[in-house]
């Protein structure tokens, strides 16, 4: 597996992880995450769904928590990153799918719901929506 490093612009909201117009979800296994990735990429070719290992998410979360600014601390940004870090430390695999708009979000969530998942969030322009 090749670990893709997200564009640093994803870390642009108060210094913490904030991939606008994207859905993030966590799964028990790499197999489940890859199955969801394959389905999302098949039905939404422009979704650019990627899978990330627990180790990579833990490292990114730690970096985000260490560099977060006041804006992130005042909002829900820090709390969400802490949740992501906890899930990564429990060995959960994650996906990140670019899915702008309600229709693409629902298509992505239909694929996600086919496997047991622990957390699903949609990053909107200024808010993080819980889709769990």
- pLDDT category of residue 82 using cuts at 50, 70 and 90: confident
What are the tens digits of pLDDT across the range 17-40? 667 788 999 999 999 999 999 999
- Report CA-CA distances (Å) from 48 to 57, 62, 63, 106: 18, 24, 23, 15
Would you kindly state where each structural domain of the chain is located, as residue ranges?
Answer: 24-122
**Residue 118 · residue 26 · CB < 8 Å:** yes
Instruction: Summarize pLDDT for 83-119 with one digit per residue, the tens.
Output: 989 999 999 999 999 998 899 999 999 999 999 999 9
Task: Name the nearest CA neighbour of 117 among 26, 14, 35, 52.
Answer: 26
What pLDDT shows up at residue 126? 72
What's residue 5's pLDDT? 44
The H-or-E segment that residue 17 falls in is none
């Amino acid at each position: 597996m090749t670990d893709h490093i997200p564009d640093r612009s994803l870390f642009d909201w108060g210094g913490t992880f904030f991939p606008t117009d994207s859905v993030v979800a966590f799964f028990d296994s790499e197999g489940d995450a890859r199955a969801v990735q394959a389905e999302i990429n098949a039905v939404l070719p422009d979704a650019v769904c990627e899978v990330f290992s627990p180790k990579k998410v833990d490292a990114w979360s730690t970096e985000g928590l260490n560099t977060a600014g006041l804006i992130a601390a005042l909002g829900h940004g820090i709390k969400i990153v802490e949740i992501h870090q906890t899930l990564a430390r429990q060995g959960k695999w994650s996906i990140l799918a670019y899915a702008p708009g309600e229709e693409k979000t629902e298509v992505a969530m239909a694929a996600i719901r086919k496997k047991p998942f622990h957390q699903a969030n949609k990053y909107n322009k200024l808010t993080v929506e819980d889709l769990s």
